[in-house]
Structure 1
């Protein structure tokens, strides 16, 4: 940040020194133009009318006031007024480029008044010409300064709007995930309730079955607590007018999803490695949604292509890999700005302690790789943050 502030200051200092030198050289022609020759007092005023421009980026209004005052005194003492105009014009442009238009117009009026005053005290024969030049120069400087200000504000406004859209997209996606997590917790609580009733019923007649039920309660309640923790992180006020929610999809229904994608025109292969087994509902929901979003993006953006979905059941984790051989290098494949798909993938992976990598493949096509802990206990062991390439 320090370097960024020093560079404009150095450039403005060079500009101020250059203008001062040009003004001094121009002042050598004063006698030839019929004006008094410059003396020490005139050189001091020339310096005051130009050197403060070095600070125009920090104090534009203060610099404008100083250079105008120096130019006013310079003209009052009878010196050639043109010598002290360069600093005034640059100061006016600077004010117009960083301050509201109303402020710039007030400064332009002040500069016009100084020029007219200089013409009056020097008994210029053509005051109409002086006034016309003052109005023309001031109008041009204010106009170009105003355009520069608008051009500088546009990127900032666009960045603010993009940040706001991204914030809203994250909030909407997290609210949707929170509603689904509510169903996951409800499922866990139902299991706990049933198993608790079973344990109480067989506590005396079948201790082994009662112990098994209590073990199930312990595991399920642990997962439910983990889901509650996640839900509290993302929970937002739910819309009371929202329609009834459909049953949550699981990996058992992945075949139905692939059939719909194939019907849409994208051939898809499914490969399952390891022993398929039931996983916590939240983990299965997360994996299903990521596969769904990845295939939707492939269907929209990959062009003529073939996709492949791989599920690998590890001892402590589930790995999901979705690839295609389409136009994976196209930047449009990665949702940006208004797209919520990539945001949803990231949010889901982060909530379940997983990792996700999204991007084009070196051999062509596109890939989404998701790794999730298979249970709450595995989540605690992993503790891995989300990654992305």
Structure 2
């Protein structure tokens, strides 16, 4: 454990500090070695030898920042040192280290050139050695430089492999997170369907039993009491099941994250939707007429989606065009219409749902797809959920219109009436 701890501490040391310490230590050792070695017919160390030794070894401190430049400087100074007749067996370690560094940080072509430069330096030293050892020293120098270059290239390939492995690991982690999120989303959709079934079933039972209790409240108190007991038990069971499902559906984190807790879109956000479409280049005229009254959140969401889908269709199939959005609060119905004045229709489809005209529309010269896509299908399903009707199709005077009628509850006393429009 202590060895691992020391290894971790050493690994956190700045590499530049390590290189600087290595350069200073290598310079000091080389100077002491050349001063203590009196063997051979070499020139004794003097100021020039000391200067050349410093020029060979001290640049090692910058070997990671400029490996090629460091190798060039060290090799040139080493060749000068050997040709001037100084001890040829010193000042060669720094060249090997520079060759290794180039092989680690540069491509194979540059590494081969570095190996050639290092071999030239070592052969210069071999040529300056004793006559009987020239060939042996030359072979030895070639082997040493080759090992240094090969080892450095191996380290570079290992680093690249580790980098690619880290990228693949990160990509795999993201894919696993995406799959987990999709799985959670699918499970929440399934639970939402289950929640719908719970609410629909239990509320139907409660509604029937409550109606029975009211009907026989005076004539048969016992039956009324039993019906109310059923209402209480059913509502308690429904609350328990809903509490269990909502606990599963609840997201971790703070409310509002990922938009899950954002308010459900409704008519209060209609102006923002229209402004966003206007910013895209459409001319949109919105008018609200009749006795405006509060709507349930579900109906508001339905109206919002109808207008959104109509404007989206215009953007996709009839841009640019003028669009009219009309909301009329009648006595029993809320009528929503989204009409545009795009190019005249060249072909119409079959009849729409609930007596409306349906079909697709092609714009002159485009030959593009019509309007009858998944958006209108989803709109019909949503409107049908609130017992409404949809009519979608081309207009005789040109353009396309989506008209929706939704039933409204009876207006409360003193509804706010009037007309609101914007250009």
State the TM bucket, normalised to the shorter chain: 0.3 to 0.5
Q: Greater RCO between the two (CA within 8 Å, min separation 6)?
A: 1
